[in-house]
Structure 1
Amino acid sequence: MTKKEIVKRQKEIKIRLTEAEHEALLERMTGGELATWIRQTCLEEKPNKKRNYKVADPQLLAGLGRIGGNLNQIARQVNTIQSDIEKIRAFAELAMIREQLQKVLADYDR
């Protein structure tokens, strides 16, 4: 099965538990959802690795959003330029902006 293929779960299993049994399952559970934990435990599936993202600075995100919008406007204008020399200059400027953004993000990620 490739990553693009999505398998829908269509079968449902219902079981009755006492309150104590339910609590025991919840205590043993590692992770988020009980159904996922049972599936992984009973079928020996490997749990999906979840990436832990750092909390992002809202001001940084807002600034990057504005820069992204500006870059899109520049890219649209570049597409209307007729002169090859002007296009090369514009692409060089875009490349410099991209490098600067990557540096800022790399510094922030440390």
Structure 2
Amino acid sequence: MSEPTRDKIIKVRVSAEEHETLKWRCPKARLAEWMREQCLNPDGDWVRQTKKAEPADPALLRQLAGIGNNLNQIARKVNTGDWAGLDRVAVVAALAAVERELSELRATHR
């Protein structure tokens, strides 16, 4: 039985250190042959890994919902088009408060 024609090329960039490590681990004269054997091994224990989202903290979700409600109220006010000088100040202050809340949440949940 003849070897299949290998006409597809996969380019993999590695650092000089990674290349040396691969060559060191490779027991064969040809690195590509060994890599094919390692990656296409039918007897290997291959399971496609899917990363599941971590459950979100309910307290965090409540705070985010509150911030979303604040943003909706701000957007509603902005979309009315009835702008007085004090309204502009109130909207900017509300946006600044939302920004502060988000910064606090980011710091807490890192």
Using structure 2 for the length normalisation, give the TM-score. 0.45
- Structure having the higher Rg: 2
Using structure 1 for the length normalisation, give the TM-score. 0.45
